[in-house]
């Protein structure tokens, strides 16, 4: 097995399925790697992460209290198919979960109270429509799925050009019990119905197989969404006002530079640089924005993520890789829904290869950057462990 075949699978997982995030809401980093697999090829992957992060002070933890762990564990799925249409043209179909949020603040959970009419100096829980105590916590969930179709053309002398269309779906919900503290007339909730948007991607690559050299540069366009949303100010069923609105957003444009080269027998250096235009992204529901004077989600700056790795073939069937990741912080006030500003991490991956299939597994540990949210809560000391496995088959 040559250096190229031995090390690419380890690269693919170390840079993909074990990624914790890539700035802001991003969970799965798109890649054109599958276009360079030999022959007809299909793969399936699953990855998961367990992040930990907490904050102190502000509206979320008054008096310097601690919020508790606010980031939930999550799983991402992926699949890809690459088919050679002829000697020069190939087609790829890729599925991933590009964006996501799973945030829940434990300290904000609890019953909402009112004065006890029998004992004016005491309080009792406010009952909900079902008679049970009414609970409202700070939380947010955002789910997505995307499918990308790509056509690649070998234009000779090591150059390849490719382009494709990308469709994605997004749905979300969030709620804040401290709405009155940020300019709203009480607790606030929002539900955004599922919406589908479309965009495009294009790029080019250069290869020299004899030294395992490859450089690929890819652009991903913005994708616009228009969600039917319901914004509720106050408590639903207890005098709260539910207002149907429309909330638009554009997931950001991005540029990927992926590269690799052989540096010694059975040894490969690889990496990537990814820039994402988060400064142009915001989620601004009309009612929330009018009351607070600021968007619900706004990142204030772009993120650039740098990955570097070293791959090595150990035997005819085993190869591995070590990786390092750096994502410098923006040092700006961030959203309550995902208060992480930058990250630094390292990972390990190993690949078992047979003539018709290969299996790659990996693990990554990251330190999450500290920040402050618009409600005055400071977040620090965060970390995340991610792991994943990918199965690839030639047919």
Give residue 256's region: left, alpha or beta (phi > 0; psi -120 to 50): beta
| Per-residue model confidence (pLDDT) at position 107 | 55
CB 307 within 8 A of CB 258: no
Q: Is 391 exposed, middle or buried (0-12, 13-18, 19+ CB in 10 A)?
A: middle
**Does the pTM exceed 0.85?**
yes
pLDDT at res. 314: 94
CA distance 88 to 101: 40
Q: Give the CA-trace dihedral at 29, 35, 38, 42, to 10 degrees.
A: 60
Cross-strand pairs, 204: 161, 217
- Each residue's pLDDT tens digit, 88-134: 999 999 999 999 999 988 754 444 444 455 655 554 445 555 555 45
Cβ atoms of 148 and 94 closer than 8 Å: yes
> pLDDT tens-digit profile of 277-326?
999 999 999 999 999 998 999 888 899 999 999 999 999 999 999 999 99
> How far is Cα 382 from Cα 54, in angstroms, rounded to an integer?
7
Across 139-157, average pLDDT: 96
Q: Identify which of 96, 105, 77, 127 has the alpha carbon closest to the alpha carbon of residue 32.
A: 96
pLDDT digits (tens, 9 = 90+) for 205-242: 999 999 999 999 999 999 999 999 999 998 766 668 89
Q: How far apart are CA 78 and CA 39, in angstroms?
A: 20
Asked if residue 388 lies in contact with residue 45, where contact means CB atoms within 8 angstroms, the answer is: yes
* Structural domains of the chain, ranges and CATH numbers in brackets: 3-113+125-394 (2.40.160.60)
Cβ-contact 61, 107 below 8 angstroms: yes
**For residues 350 and 36, what is the distance between their CA atoms, to the nearest angstrom?**
20
Of the listed ranges 29-38, 72-81, 98-107, the least confidently predicted one is: 98-107
Identify the CA nearest to 389 among candidates 66, 148, 45: 45
Q: Is the pLDDT assigned to residue 364 strictly greater than 50? A: yes
Q: How far apart are CA 8 and CA 148, in angstroms?
A: 21
């Amino acid at each position: 097995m040559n250096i190229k075949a031995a090390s690419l699978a380890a690269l693919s997982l170390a840079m993909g399925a074990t990624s914790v995030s890539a700035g802001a809401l991003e969970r799965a980093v798109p890649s054109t790697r599958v276009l360079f697999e030999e022959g007809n090829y299909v793969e399936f992957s699953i990855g998961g992460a367990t992040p930990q992060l907490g904050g102190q002070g502000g509206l979320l933890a008054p008096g310097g209290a601690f919020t508790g762990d606010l980031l939930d564990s999550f799983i991402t799925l992926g699949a890809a198919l690459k088919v050679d249409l002829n000697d020069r043209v190939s087609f790829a179909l890729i599925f991933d979960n590009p964006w996501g949020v799973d945030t829940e603040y434990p300290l904000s959970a609890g019953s909402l109270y009112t004065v006890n009419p029998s004992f004016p100096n005491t309080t009792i829980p406010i009952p909900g429509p079902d008679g049970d105590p009414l609970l409202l916590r700070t939380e947010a969930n955002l789910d997505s799925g995307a499918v990308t179709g790509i056509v690649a053309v070998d234009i000779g002398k090591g150059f390849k050009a490719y382009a494709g269309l990308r469709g994605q779906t997004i749905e979300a919900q969030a709620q804040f019990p401290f709405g009155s503290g940020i300019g709203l007339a009480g607790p606030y909730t929002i539900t955004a119905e599922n919406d589908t948007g479309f965009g495009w991607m294009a790029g080019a690559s250069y290869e020299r197989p004899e030294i395992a050299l490859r450089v690929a540069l890819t652009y991903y366009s913005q994708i616009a969404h228009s969600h039917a949303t319901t914004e509720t100010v106050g408590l639903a069923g207890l005098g709260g006002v539910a207002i149907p609105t429309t909330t638009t957003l554009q997931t950001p444009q991005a540029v990927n530079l992926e590269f690799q080269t052989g540096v010694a027998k059975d040894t490969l250096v690889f990496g990537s640089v990814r820039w994402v235009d988060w400064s142009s992204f915001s989620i601004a529901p009309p009612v929330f924005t009018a009351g607070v004077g600021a968007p619900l989600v706004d990142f204030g700056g772009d993120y650039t993520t740098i990955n570097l790795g070293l791959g090595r073939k150990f035997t005819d069937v085993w190869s591995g890789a070590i990786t390092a990741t750096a994502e410098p912080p923006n040092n700006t006030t961030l959203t309550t829904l995902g208060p992480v500003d930058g990250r630094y991490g390292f990972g390990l991956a190993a690949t078992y290869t047979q003539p018709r299939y290969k299996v790659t597994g990996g693990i990554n540990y990251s330190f999450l950057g500290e920040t402050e949210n618009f409600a005055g809560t400071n977040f620090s000391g965060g970390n995340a462990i991610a792991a994943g496995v990918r199965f690839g088959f030639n047919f």
